[in-house]
Each structure stands twice: as C-alpha cells, then as structure tokens.
Structure 1
Amino acid sequence: MKKRSKILGFTLLSLALFCKCDSDDTPNPNPNPGGEPVEATTTLINTLSIPWELTWGPDNFLWVTERSGKISRINPDTGEQDEILVIDEVEQVQESGLLGLVHHPDFSSNPYIYVVYTYNGQNGLLEKVVRFSYINESLVDETTLLDNIPANRIHNGSRLLVTSDLKLLMTTGDAGNTNLSQDINSLGGKILRMNLDGSIPNDNPIAGSYIYSYGHRNAQGLTLHPNGNLYSSEHGPSSDDEINRIEIGKNYGWPDVRGVIDTPSEETFAAGTEVVESIYQWTPTIAPSDLVFYTSDRIPQWTNKLLLTVLKNQQIIALTLNDNGTAIIEEKIFFNQAFGRLRDIAVSPTGRVFIATNGNSYGDTTNTHSIIEINRIEE
C-alpha cells in the first residue's frame, strides 16, 4: 500500500493569518504593460553563503539569515545587500547555525525581530530563541527568550511564525535523538508556543510547558491558512517526508509512525496513543523545506495553494487543498532542477515571490547561493 493520501479531519484553534507578508509594497501585477513579457525569473543576488530564512519585512525589504550568523536586508528591486548584524555566538556545524527569523506583527510600535540559532553549550550544541530591537537601522538589545533547546549538527527545525493572537510558534527537531520526540519533558521534536516575551501561555495544551504539538522529526516549514489551519512540512528518514495539519496538543508519531498508520508496528503504537497521520507524504523522500500559503492572483497558477520549496529534488511544489483543508488533492511541480536546492520562499503583500537557493548538493558551502524572484510561470 502506498503511503499517499490517508486523511484525518481535525478541528484546529482558529488563528488568523500572519505569514511572511506583513506590510505593503507597490502593486505591480503587470510590470511591463504593453511591452514585451517580463523574464520568468530575476536573480537579485548570487553571493550569499547558505541562506536559511528569507522573509518579507515590514520595511518592504527582504530579510535574510545566513547560517554563519549574518542578518541582512536586501532591496527587492536592486538586490543591494545591507548587512545589519553578525551574531558571534552562532555555532555553525553542518546543518546548524543561524536559522529562523520573524518580525513582530506591529513592527512600527514594537520594532522587534525574533531569531533562532545554535550555540555551544556546556555539553555540546544547543539552540536558543532571542529577540532584537531594530533601532536606527541596527539590531541591538539581544534578549534571550528561551534557551537550552536540544540541537545537533542535524535536525534542528527552527522555523518561526507569529500568530494574530501574538504567540510565537517554533519548530524544533529531534537533534538526531529519536527518543526526544515522544518525551514531553524535552523540547526536541516539537512545535513550541510562547508569548512574545518568552513566557509560557496559560492556554497551552500542557500546563507549564511550551509544547504545542509533539512527535516531530525535523519540521522546517510552518504556515497558516487564512481559515486558521496550521500546516508544517517535515523531513522523514528514508521514507515519508510529510505535510502535516497541526492540531493543538496532538502527537504526530515520530519515530513510531511514519506518514500514515499502515504497518503492524504503527498500528500497535497507535492503539496505545492518539496519533495524527500526515495529510500528504513522499516516498522516496524529496527533502521539503519552507512552506507558505499563496493567496495572491499575481501568479494565478499558484493562487490559493500551498507552495513548498524542496532541497533534494530541487523544485517548487504547488499543493492544492480540499475545501476544508484536511487533505491535499493535487501536487504540481515547478522549476524542476532549475536553480539547485531550494531552501526558502518569501511572499510580499502584493504576491511577489522570492526563493533562496542552497547550492547544487548537500553540504555546498560556497558563497554563490542566490535569491531569485519568480515573476511569472511559463506553461
């Protein structure tokens, strides 16, 4: 039986959308009216070293993290890079380093950014969430919100998202230790939820705990649908890369369940604990990374679809949801092997789409990684 489309429907806490698009930029649905068609893609910059997070900022610039510890702003029209900060404490080894970044939704009154990075703890790599203030075009006043999160050379999760009720969500990986994901006393292999000052919300599913959901392996994509559904993209082992619909307090099975429950051992495990199956999965694996929900009609082929950047298979996948968002009913591949490994995707309020590349092979550390704008789809 192929692990492809077993579906479970669940009710998720209603959250309004705050995705990677929090400000206004100048609408430009037809950048060359009456003239020749614009190029399908535009390379803004091709001198980055392992970009990880790419997000549209409230200042109408692209903000990017590089795993070495650098945070920059990039002009989305010229590609000019303004290096804001290099975080000296960042420890970059293999997949670790400076990873997720997100802005406060009311940036004009609360000019904060939140970032995740790995650092050297007493017994090895750990991960922390910190907040910076953006003042006079500088990032200052670093404040640690949560530290001592399990980390490793691999499987660090680290996607950040702020919801409309001003809660910060963060994915964490199992840090190469599969036992952590089912351990509710560990922050590894989870989606965490915290207030924007780092405290634990009173309405979290486990009292006194940051845990929002558990049983994750290495989720690197996290996005909200306008109807409140929360979705993650997650790396599997040799099988079952996943798209999950996240429900509060639920167990997503790793390492005992991969994808859907369809083996005797998975059935035995699920008989003793309530497990949420993925709504879509890939075997062989494709290495899914970032995930956004695209609402604009600027690129009509992608309107109202989940867009997934893919590392190993080097492509963008557009995923169509059913009416209530409980299943994926179609996938379509775009830009297959056109740009190498695709790490991240950012969308402006008017639907401009930007992607960050990560070289042509795993472990490519050259300073030739790019940010590319997708202007239109050729079909």
Structure 2
Amino acid sequence: MAPMRAVLIKDGKGPIENLFIGETEKPVPSSGQVLVKIKAFGLNRMDLSQRQGGYPVPPGASTILGVEFSGLVSELGPDVTSWNVGDEVFGLAGGGAYAEYINCHQGLLIPKPSHLSWVEAASIPENFLTAYQALIKYGEVEKNEDVLVHAGASGVGVAAIQLARVFGARSVTATASTQEKLDWLLSMPNGATHGVNYKSQDFAEEVKSTTNGKGVEVVIDFVGQSHWTKNIESLAKDGRMTMLGVMSGNVVPSVDLLPILYKRLRIQGSTLRSRSVEYQAELIAVFKRDIVDKISGADGVGPIRTWIHKGSSWMEAGLSLDRHSTSTARDDGKQNSGKIIGEVV
C-alpha cells in the first residue's frame, strides 16, 4: 500500500500535544467512492471532542480527524459516474480529512465554484449543511416567519442567520455572550435583525417584544439545559425547535410539559455525521441545487458569505483548534472572524 501523510493522534486520543504528522496508508477507493487529494480542510468542534475521546466515530468511518475538505479528484473507484479525475470539489466525510488524501462517496462531493478559493470551499460543508438541515429540513422556516438562533457567532450560527434571511424570515434574533459579537452579527450582510446578550438579557422577553407577543416560529439551539425553559417561552404556537447540542447540560429538571402540548410545539434533535450516506447524499443534492451558488467568499458577492477566521498549515491549524476550543468557527468581534482552516502543504 502507498503511504500518505496525515495528522495522527498518539495513543488514539489525548491533549493537543498528542497530535503529530505521520505516515499512514493512502486509502483506495471502493465501489462508488472517489479519492480526493486534499487542498484544505475545516476544523470543527467535533474534532476537538473526538481527539479528547468524547465523540464516537461512526461505524466504518476513518479515525483520522476531519469531516470537511476541498481538493482535486485523484482517482475513481468502480461504478463512479459523477466525477472525472482532475475535478475541483469540496465535500463532507465521516472522518479522514486531516490528511493528504481522502476517500469519499461520490454523492457527498460538490463541484467547487470558481469564485471560491480552496480555503473558502473547505469552510462550507459542515457548518452550512448542519444549518440547512436544522433550519430548512427540520425547522421548515417559511417567508415572514420569525427565527431565534442561539450561539449566533458560531460557524453554524452564522450560516443559519444568513440562510434564514435568504429564505425570507421576517426577523432573525441572534444570541451571543458579548456586545462585540452582537454588533458584528447585526452588521453582516443578511445578518441578524436583532441581537440579545443572553448573559445580561432575557431572550424570551426580547423575542416577545420583537414579535408583538407572538414568539418565534423557529428556534435553533446548541445550548440545552440552561436555555430550555426560555426556549419554550420564546416559541409561538406551532413553533419548531431544532436541537444541535447540549453545551450547558443534557438534563432539564422539573420540566413542565404543558406548554409543549398547548402550543403544539415540535422539538427535533439533529445530528448529521451519524446519518446514512444515502441521507447525507440526498441532503447535499438539495443544498447543491438551492444554496451553493448563493455563497461567496472574501469578494462578498452573493447573498450568503462564508467567513474565514484563519488559514494556516495543517499542524498550525490543529494548534489553533485547541486555542479556539470554545467554538469551531467563531466571531470574536472582528470582521475577519469565522472558520479556522488547515491547508495541506
């Protein structure tokens, strides 16, 4: 087997010091798979969690970190009909992106638009597909509805805010922990229409004020326990909440279920990495059709933008992930904030 370089983890898990670049076997594409020579990969919170032993790897997925990437099609497995060697692509994987090469099912790749750089393309799949699934597929947001997005300055939060605006939301309220973050989210093209500092303000009261007492139709939540009661208060009748994480805890004591019943609320848990290849391919096909051409990079042309916080060589990127462990793609109040990307050089 031919070797390749990859970011590996000494002892399989551990602190940032356990990361090193070493040699491993270069993957060989099987039926329906495409081998991609990676140009850049995105760093996500799940990578940090996996390195520390807290995020299970889906069955059959590579144990190498990394779930999103951009690169060149290098080799085709049997039965591949969608791609040619040399195609410029970006895509989603169950793991393996912190490497020189990755195997990917042909349905999980997207043609890289010429106006996006390798780094910009690599920043899209995990954040935007997660946001699209939560807001559009599960949240079923409609024109003139009101939306509440928690962790608004996270990568998924920034994507969800812009998608909600593009899909015609009447208002998009974002929560964050500092005024700097809120100011940036409000100033973004197709950014939030309202901002709430969840540390000093009651976001349930704020969205009631914004919506004339009605509440919001859609809530996107990453936080869990600490936000649960106010989320239920924030939702309008027939409202939908998509839960993407439980950062504050997963147990809500003394839950009152009556508001869920009386308001006819729908609460949906959402994960993406654990879904089947068929499900992910179907989601990507719709996303490719409806959204990809609307995303721009540093040129700012288009209704949706991907924001790059930092691009660096792949080992430096691993160190950046540890320093920015509170959020994968975050805003720190500056306009150059956004996704952290590793370039394979």
TM-score by length of 2: 0.29
- Choose between structure 1 and 2: higher helix proportion: 2
- Choose between structure 1 and 2: higher strand proportion: 1
TM-score by length of 1: 0.27
